[in-house]
Chains A and B, each alone.
Chain A
Amino acid sequence: MAENVWILGIHMTKFGKHPELDTVDLGAQAAIGALSDAGLRMRDVGVLAAGNLMQAAASFGQQLQKQIGQTGIPVFNVANACATGATALRVAIMAIRAGETEVGLAVGVEKLSGAGLLAGGSRVAQSDTWSPRGRFGAVAALDGRIGTETMPGVFAQIGLEYDHKYGGATFELFARISEKNHAHSTLNPLASYQKRFSVEQIMNDVMIAYPNTRPMCSANCDGAAAAVVVSESKLRTLSLEQQRRAVKISASVLTSDPWQEACQVLPDVNTLTRAAAEQAYEQAGVGPEDLDLVELHDCFATAELVHYDNLKLCPTGGAVDFFNSGATWRDGTTPVNVSGGLESKGHPVSATGIANVWEIATHLRGEAGDRQIEGARVGLAHVIGLGSACGVHILEKAV
């Protein structure tokens, strides 16, 4: 049985606009912050896992080393869509579990301010005679002609598919989920936006892809997050203060989407999230009812609803009733996205999977300030990258 892995240090930069900082600057800020929080230096680290999607071929990890410490350790540059940060963390954890090193550093960073839509084909480049191309033998671009490739549109369909299956998932319900997350964000000084919206404001804002209006979509922004993870045996050699603030990683799971009918027609974010959640609860020996808070991947308001169900926070088909009960507000039974979520905290994609873990860890340490969930002992962080990849981490307070 591989030994437990702990978060020793973790850091998240302010999410928002950082025009004066480049990708490496932001990553360095997060990495140095995490090392400082851990009480370690780069020379103590045995493996670096680094994620950045916008420059995925540029060996971001090595660029980062050149600014903060070139120690010759192996670097894994990872890319896994919006699950890139969680994948980096998972790589560092796996290296420790495999016994290859005692200390790992995972970093995720993205600069996305003003990026607009992150997927969807343009109609500009097209030849002047029809000739079939690609796996569908298409004579013209398909985005907009055969459905939509845009993320707001894909996740809108995922939300309405849930409505078709179980009912009750109205435009207004999705807007109220967004209202909750924006309300939560007012307590988070690191969030991109800390503005409360009324349901009416959300519903009357600019429509992007029905039922997702602009405030119901994740905010493109700049940001980075990093974590230093250590083996339990290493942790026991460190100071009592370091051990007190360390956070146990009770489960670390990464899944991809198993085949099922329709999954290549509309991405299925349900199967792989359910599988990841089931594996994580099994690994951690805890159940959904034990969770004091959850950070889940609300890339769109429509996504948050289906993940209540996928993470088994409610009975199958019961996500609408679960939300209507008030359970997921910060004073509810299962607070969800008390950080403000991706809709207001922001979604610098490769940073997100570590930033969600930072949020949980900060509550478990009792260091979340005004938004502290009192007495938090167990939390779950979830991310989805379309394509698809799902990361779930369950964290527990040191005892």
Chain B
Amino acid sequence: MSNRVPLVDYLVLDGEPHLTARECTRCGARYFDRRNACAACEADTFHTVDVATEGELRAFTIVSFAAPGIPVPFVAGVVDCAGTSVRANVVNVPADPRHVRVGMKVRLATVTVGVDAAGVEAVGFGFEPAS
């Protein structure tokens, strides 16, 4: 049994860590959640595709005020990974507008979420500056 689990089922930790998406077999729309059907074309078959691990930060915010228990400040954003938009935190960068800007190149990075009572580590992801 692995001693690591991904934070979400669309994060693949084996080998080079990467994200996957559920792609509609008819229209190519991509989703990260479990699907009933395609919101774009109503088809109901999907296959799993790999999402590019490098991208461009299309939008961000620096959250300074959040629900209890959530460490702040942190950078939240949307990354354009070769045409697939991904919601993620921007990590390994100061949470400061002088260090984060729209259009910056970023790449996938894994981050630890914590270890549970059974000793299993949950691993999440973020995007870090690529240069």
Q: How close is A114's CB to chain B, nearest CB, in angstroms?
A: 15
Q: When the two chains form the complex, which single residue of B9, B10, B61, B125 contacts A210, counting CB atoms closer than 8 Å?
A: B61
Contact B116 A129 (CB under 8 A): yes
In the complex the two chains form, is A148's CB within 8 Å of B63's CB? yes
B46 within 8 A of A: no
Which residue of A120, A142, A160 is within 8 Å of B59 (Cβ)? A160
Of the candidate stretches A64-72, A89-97, A258-266, A360-368, the one touching chain B is: A258-266
Q: Does B108 contact A (CB under 8 A)?
A: no
Q: Is A237 an interface residue (CB 8 A)?
A: no
Cβ of A115 under 8 Å from chain B? no
The chain A residue sitting closest to B103, CB to CB, is: A164
Which chain B positions have C-beta within 8 A of A128?
116-117
B1-27 near A? 1/0 per residue, CB < 8 Å:
000011111100000000000000000
- Taking CB atoms, residues of chain A closer than 8 Å to B129 are none
Cα distance A259–B42 in the bound complex, in angstroms: 11
Among A121, A171, A264, the one with the most B-chain Cβ atoms within 10 Å of its Cβ is: A264
Choose one: B30, B39, B59, B66; the contact of A143 (CB below 8 Å).
Answer: B66
A270 to chain B, nearest CB (A): 12
Cβ contact within 8 Å between B102 and A142: no
The answer to whether A117 has its CB under 8 Å from any CB of chain B is yes
Residues in B neighbouring A157, C-beta threshold 8 A: 59-61, 76-78
Say if the beta carbon of B122 comes within 8 Å of chain A. yes
Residue pair B7, A210 in contact (C-beta under 8 Å): no
Beyond A261-B85, A264-B33, 4 extra complex contacts between A and B, CB < 8 Å? A139-B6, A171-B97, A262-B78, A266-B85
Interface residues, chain B, with chain A CB atoms under 8 Å away = 5-10, 29-34, 39-40, 58-72, 74, 76-78, 83-89, 97, 102-103, 113-114, 116-118, 120, 122, 124-125
